[in-house]
Amino acid sequence: MSDVATAPEKVSVTDAALARIEAILSKQKPGTVLRVAVSGGGCSGFQYEYNLVQEEPSEDDLVLGNDKAKVLIDSLSLEFMQGAEIDFVNDLIGQSFQINNPNAVASCGCGTSFSV
């Protein structure tokens, strides 16, 4: 596992997730990054959003990854994701990004929404 964040309270990204992000971004326009955010909604109160965007990091963004697989998380979303791990799982029921979030007290069956 690659912990690309420098502090334990920050978000980490596994090698599997970085490899998948790199594969996705390699098919996009140069300068495209993956933005992960938390928004209100979903069946548990909050949900994760994954968006491919053409933008430079904001001053308050957490920047994870490397030159080929860059992930941005805004400061508001980071408050809900402190200590979380972004992973990519490929199993019999499908492929998906999963966020293992120690702040979530409950989550839905699909793993894309949670409550704190």
pLDDT of residue 1: 47
Q: What is the pTM of this model?
A: 0.80
The predicted-structure confidence for 32-90, as pLDDT tens digits, reads as follows: 999 999 988 766 678 889 999 999 999 999 999 999 999 999 999 999 999 999 999 98
Copy the structure tokens of residue 42.
């979903």
Angle at 71 between CA 68 and CA 75, to 5 degrees: 155
Highest averaged pLDDT of the listed ranges 5-9, 16-20, 92-96: 16-20
Relative to beta strand 62-65, strand 94-100 is unpaired
Residue 106 clears pLDDT 80, i.e. is over it: no
pLDDT of residue 83: 93
Question: Of 47, 95, 91, 87, which Cα lies nearest the Cα of 71?
Answer: 87
Q: By the 8 A CB rule, do 74 and 84 touch?
A: no
Q: By the 8 A CB rule, do 24 and 65 touch?
A: no
- Kindly state the average pLDDT of the residues 10-39: 95
Domains present along the chain, CATH in parentheses:
12-115 (2.60.300.12)
Question: Of 112, 115, 114, which Cα lies nearest the Cα of 50?
Answer: 112
